[in-house]
Each structure stands twice: as C-alpha cells, then as structure tokens.
Amino acid sequence: MEQYIIKGNTPLAGEVVIGGAKNAALGILAAAIMSDETVLIDNLPDVRDINVLLQAIEDIGATVIRVDKHAVKINGSTIKSMCIDLEIIKKIRASYYLLGAMLGKYKQAKVALPGGCNIGSRPIDQHIKGFKALGATVNMDHGMIEASADRLVGNHIYLDMASVGATINIMLVAALAEGKTIIENPAKEPHIVDVANFLNSMGAKIKGAGTDVIRIQGVEKLHASEYSIIPDQIEAGTFMVAAAATKGDVLIKNVIPKHLESISAKLEEIGASVEEFDDAVRVVATKRLSHTQIKTQPYPGFPTDMQPQIATLLALSEGTSTVTENIFENRFKYVDELARMGASIKVEGNVAIITGVSSLMGAQVSAPDLRAGAALVTAALVADGVSTVDQIYFIERGYEDFDLKLRGLGANIEKVDSEDEKAIKKFKLKVG
Ligand code: EPZ
C-alpha cells in the first residue's frame, strides 16, 4: 500500500501554488448537469473526490470531456439514468449533490443513502427538509433515497444548522423551482458563494449567498457557461500551518486572503507572521509559538477542516491550548496517532486539551481521514527522525500532489510502497 515516508526537522521555504477548491468543485460539477448545453469548468483540483464525481456524472449518461487535468466540459443533455448507486456514494458522500441537481432538473432522482464517515454520523435530514419544503416527496427504501415532484415551488426554508451540504442541495433544487425560495440560516462558506455564482453564470437568479439569507428566484432553464473555481481555502490553510509548524518562510500563492482571515488571525495571535498580498499570503515563524484557544465554527469562524492541522501546531507550542470541535462529533481520531509521536493531548468530549511539547519523534502513523492525514504529515515534517504515514488515499481525496508540493518547499518526503524495502532504504540513505 502506498505511504508517505518523511524525514522531519526541515523548515519549509519557498513558494507553493494552491489549487481549486474541492468543496466548491463538488457542488459546481453537480450543478453543471442541470444545463442541456455545454459547460466549461476550469481550475478543478485533480483529486480523487473530483475524479470519482466526474465518473458518476458520466455513468448517468452526461457527456464529460476532460480538456486537461484541471478543466472539463460537461453536457447534461445526454443523461439517461436518474440513479446514483451505492458504489459511487460509498466512495464520495458529496455525490448526494446529484440528488439535488437531478431533482431540480428532472423532478426525480434516486441516490444511495450516504453512510456516516470517520468524523461523524453526518445525517442529511436538513437536505430532505429542504426538498420536501419545495414540493418533493422523499422516500427511503433499502438504503436508497428517492425524491420526486409533480411541481417544485419556491418556499421559505429555515435550516436548523448552517449545513454546507444542505445549503448547496437546496440551492440546486430551488434554482429551477417555480417562484421564490428563501433560505434562512444557510452556510456562508466561500464554496457556497462559488456554487451560487456558478449557477448565476448559467442563468440562475440567486442573491445573498455568503450572507444570513439566500434569496432564489426560480428560472425555466439553465444555459452554457465557462467558469473558474475559487482557490481552496483549506489547502491554503494547511500549507500556512505547515509553514508555521516547521518555523519556515513560505509564500502561498493563488489564494483569496479574505477566505483565510480566521486562520491568519490565529497564526498571528500565537506568534507567526502572516503578510497578505492580493492573491497570496506569506507565513513566517522564527521562534517557538505560544498557546491559544480554538473553537471551530461555520464560516467565517475557524473552519472545522483546519482543526486537526492547528491542533498539531499547538501540540508543539509553548503552554496549554484547547481545541473545541463544535461541528462534528468524532474529529479527534488523529490524537492517538499524534500521541505516538510524543504529543500530550487529552480529549474530553468535544474538547482537546493540548500541553505543548518541545519536539515530536518520528513514528509509523495512519491517516484516519482526509484532514487528520494532512495534520499527521505536518507532524512528521516537524518530528525528529523518519516517519511513515499510511492510508494516504484519504489525503489524496482532497490534496493534489501533496508530497510534490511539500518537496518543492524543501521537505524530505516521498511516496513509496510500504512493501518496497529497497525504496525505503534508499530514502533513508539519501536523507541521512
Ligand atoms: C461539508 O460537509 C464539507 N464537505 C466538509 O469538508 C466540511 O467539514 C463541512 O462541510 C463543514 O464545513 C464537502 O463540502 C464535500 P455540514 P457537509 O452539512 O456538507 C450536521 C473535508 O474535509 N448536519 O455543514 O457534510 C452534520 O452532521 C470535508 O473537505 C445535520 O445534522 O457538512 C455536521 O455535524 C470533511 N443534518 C454539521 O451539521 C444535515 O442534514 C455540519 O455539516 C446536514 C448536516
């Protein structure tokens, strides 16, 4: 099985270019099938989740032409099936966006019920609440969700929590419903705004994305569009934290600094410096950082998708920090792995109490999920000695060329097969 092998204790230095936002791209690719004309989308991240969703879109009959690894043309006029099977949804939960897209366009859709995952149960009751409010009948049968409607009519929907997925799925259906839809308490993440902007580029009428109320005037149909996806705020934040953790000096390019404000503020609070440019941020840390308190919140609060990474940084900071995870119920699985590297973290309910240590030791660790995997790589970059991180397919779901980008910043990291003793020995000889 493939793994990363990493020799730590090298400050990251240089420049890295951030790719397109995975969590915007997933909603945008689903929305693209709602037109019967050709849509060109670029700045797509070349990551597993995107490639799986594109395969699902092709499987239902849409025309998918990969222009290059970061651009695709989609035409939904050739869709034949309204059913997304379990195999696909097991690979990627976000294929449930096709439920909203097909319900909105064809007034019918059938998608396997997404299970929980490594960070929590992740129910979709708010998605279903929105579909029903717009006039759909939703049935669960043998692990499948079936949604259908004679007519889809706009409504006033109040979300019980600011769910990213539910906000996107409801926007997709409401875009082609009759009349006006108001979504109260929507998620406000940058990727919500990006999906709304993309739908508007296809002729939808959506106002207020990114604010506390989204207003949607349904239209008859959606037309062709050419669209470029926003940069990935979480990939950018991951490199910002890695730069600070390794006491490096990194220019992170192709970002929207405003999207990174909560991360930049926390890094500056604990003693790193963050310099903002139009489409880049430079992160420098020269001394041991200090402790702080983190509470994950919906945007613009500190993102839950940056929680494992910042906790890793605080594991090396001076003093005692706390990290409170308010979004998901099981997002501390990486703590045991960090403890094996010498971190001192105690989890009580949804709070991790972190006592900073002066150094970590290299170890063999396993990525329990996407963002925790990125955090363990960050820990290995700082640790004394050689570490291996396995189950890296989790990491490759959301980070394009993660090892190559880190190597470009001076990190001693390679992707090897865990059975390939020769490659491992060669790496160890090379890094000394
Ligand atoms: C999206 O997941 C992201 N995934 C997640 O990123 C991210 O962590 C999350 O938003 C929060 O920002 C994609 O965009 C593909 P939610 P989503 O609906 O939409 C509960 C990553 O690392 N909830 O905002 O599933 C839910 O259980 C991934 O890239 C309900 O109770 O998140 C959670 O506790 C991990 N009922 C909270 O709300 C619902 O119907 C927020 O979930 C929906 C959600």
Summarised one tens digit per residue, pLDDT across range 8-56 is 999 999 999 999 999 999 999 999 999 999 999 999 999 999 999 999 9
CB 378 within 8 A of CB 400: no
SS3 (DSSP) at 423: helix
Please indicate, yes or no, whether the overall pTM of this predicted structure exceeds 0.95: yes
- Mutational test site, ligand 1, from 126, 163, 296, max ligand atoms within 8 Å of CB: 163
Write down the pLDDT at residue 112: 86
Q: Which homologous superfamily is 2-19+231-431 in?
A: Enolpyruvate transferase domain (3.65.10.10)
CA neighbor of 253 nearest in space, from 277, 286, 228: 277
CA distance 53 to 98: 9
Q: Hey, what are 131's tokens?
A: 């579909």
Q: Which residues are paired to 153 by β-bridges?
A: 178
CB 215 within 8 A of CB 29: no
Number of the ligand 1 atom closest to the C-alpha atom of 189: 12
Query: What's the CA-to-centroid distance between 325 and ligand 1, angstroms?
Result: 13
Enumerate the domain spans of the chain.
2-19+231-431, 22-228
CB 367 within 8 A of CB 373: yes
Query: What's the CA-to-centroid distance between 12 and ligand 1, angstroms?
Result: 31
Write down the pLDDT at residue 159: 98
- Give residues with Cβ within 8 angstroms of 193, minimum separation 6: 209, 210, 230
Write down the pLDDT at residue 123: 87
Query: What's the CA-to-centroid distance between 124 and ligand 1, angstroms?
Result: 9
- Give residues with Cβ within 8 angstroms of 83, minimum separation 6: 60, 109, 110, 111
Domain pair 2-19+231-431 / 22-228, same fold: yes
CA neighbor of 283 nearest in space, from 79, 13, 7, 76: 13
CATH number of 22-228: 3.65.10.10
Phi, psi for 302 (deg, rounded to 5): -70, 125
Write down the pLDDT at residue 116: 62
Q: Average pLDDT of each block of 10 consecutive residues along the chain (432 residues)?
A: 94 98 98 98 96 93 97 97 82 89 96 77 92 96 91 98 97 98 98 98 98 98 98 98 98 98 98 98 97 98 98 98 96 97 98 98 96 98 96 96 98 93 89 84
Tens digits of per-residue pLDDT, 119-152? 887 889 999 999 999 999 999 888 889 999 999 9
Number of the ligand 1 atom closest to the C-alpha atom of 127: 40
Cβ(26) – ligand 1 distance below 6 Å: yes
- Give residues with Cβ within 8 angstroms of 421, minimum separation 6: none
Tens digits of per-residue pLDDT, 79-124? 998 888 778 777 888 889 999 999 999 999 999 887 666 788 788 9
